[in-house]
Structure 1
């Protein structure tokens, strides 16, 4: 009976979702303003259907995709940026991608069923790697500061090994997450000192190297894991804290400017909302419009970018193999002046799909993304390490929206998969060494 009730509830939610998708589709087809309103309604509906469950992708992904899809159109509507002739078409295609994602994923919520036993064997090795990653990153930050490397471009051009130690950040974030969950689940307390220290370390990294990624990932992981495993905040508090995190984007940009260049200018506009939309979230949709505006300069690639993604991730280190990516292709073709200066404007996952097969490609790309996130979400509910992995992946999915599939694969392998593998190898090594020593004592 209970299972039947769940099925009926899920069926009702799916029915509501399909009705709202149909209505918002009509709004989006009608006009640009209708498209923006449609995206807002569809996002609110998705969040409502899962009761603001922060672990469910309907909550976090919908908010992110709303921001990335509508920021550029909103800035155009209010006259902050020149209007594109393709703004309406871009909204329609992004609505197709978003609707596909929601349908594939489904509104079904899953309950956590976690056994903390896995964490027991990770305490010692996590503490060791956490401390070691701080030492390594300290050496790197000290070198960057002493040599005045004021941007990611300067750091990438530097040939010293000391400027190439940012891999330690991934180990720092992963072991922080393990230590956080260990304290909450096994010690039943919130590790305030650990949280404050780690977030402060993330701010220091921003001020010295200009890299906001570490702090943002720490913030997202802390927010979600603490809410899910410890506090269970009310919906009002979740809305307030989520809004604060979004508005932190221009503040982090200010902190970066203060630390790296010494600038004390807080915002580039008198309206902080415009800064939020323009400094981070307008890139994906504006890049897609740029691609549409230059249709005559390129032809459909019929899936070739997937081969680019594969080569970039798995074959780029081999000699005599040249690799590119949809993001590199886009910036080289449309923003060569920025590329010459060591910069770039990212790309768009919707645009990558469109570049291959048109609207069908955007549909296909988000069908694949929805299936992957659905699988990861399902597995995370029953395994504490997979829950940590899933939570760590959320910022990576954010970067993927304004990147391409190689962004997803590269970040997953380098920033999560490899650190977890190394931790497990070291865990096995230490446990084996401990077993041998105990066995010798018994003999």
Structure 2
């Protein structure tokens, strides 16, 4: 059945940093037309498409869903998140390196059990959809079973997801270690089984430089050379103690990024989470290699890691996406990430415009993952993964947004005060995947 959604449409066609108001489309009373394949067929104002809608309804079965008063936005893209850490979100008391030993590694040791991985993956996906996230770049654990479990669940939900098995052969408990050789062979087998299947993609995933030997990092580079369309996903320059540790472990490297560069891990499909404490040479090399940074504001504040300099990265022309970094991040909500991102830039005397923030969480994230031909905007031929935002989701939001004078003010309020309740519905390939309140179904007719 063809589905046509009526409501206010907001989507980006480019970066507001470069193109200002020309970077987004706002159609206050619009139609989003989704074909039976789950791809967008038409986008436009209701007054322009209403005649065609009436004509088409006489010829074929079309369902019109009325979301007037709400905002339809492409689904959020989370550029860095750990599904095995779902059960340890909001773990108390330490910064990065102690936090890994105290909380992360014990939890991740359980994911050699496929069934356990499936149970956590189901909870994880439920939280993503409830918060309006429709695509994510996801860490598994060192166990191949963890990735098998995640991909199986993501496939059942028809999600566009990227994930990978952690590669980690030192400086961790035996229960979460592999070897350079086993990490290569297990990763290769997962790539051959899952990469490019339905809406799934694989990311070669060394945890971070300190937990991989040079031999293992070069195995990661070998995988990228053998499978040039897979991703690279790891951490970079998150914590000052981490930087010192990397320098001691890799004395022949000029800086942290050079460790990965020497292993052949930089490129247009390489996403490095955090990137807080980068020198100018690292920024220049990220830009020249077209590598990507995933800014994880909530995690950076929660773990006391530091302040990401977005303006500096923009000046260098580095692609940036937004990541929740659950469980270092304390929320699945993109709104929480955007609120924290605003505060981080304020502490550095810069403003993060609400349009730019939503761009980074939608089309900007899709661009960061080289998926902007498929997701992140409302263009004919794109996949219809989108959310329905309710500016009046709570009594207080209704009160506050009533005092907004324009769209920019309304969006800033949602970015700052919003949470999962703002997500009235989440659609995957045009099909309802989450609905906040089953008692308030949108009006529709066949």
Give the TM bin, normalised by the shorter chain.
under 0.3
Whose helix fraction is larger, Structure 1's or Structure 2's? 1
| Structure possessing the higher radius of gyration over alpha carbons | 1
Whose strand fraction is larger, Structure 1's or Structure 2's? 2
**Normalising by structure 2, what TM-score?**
0.24
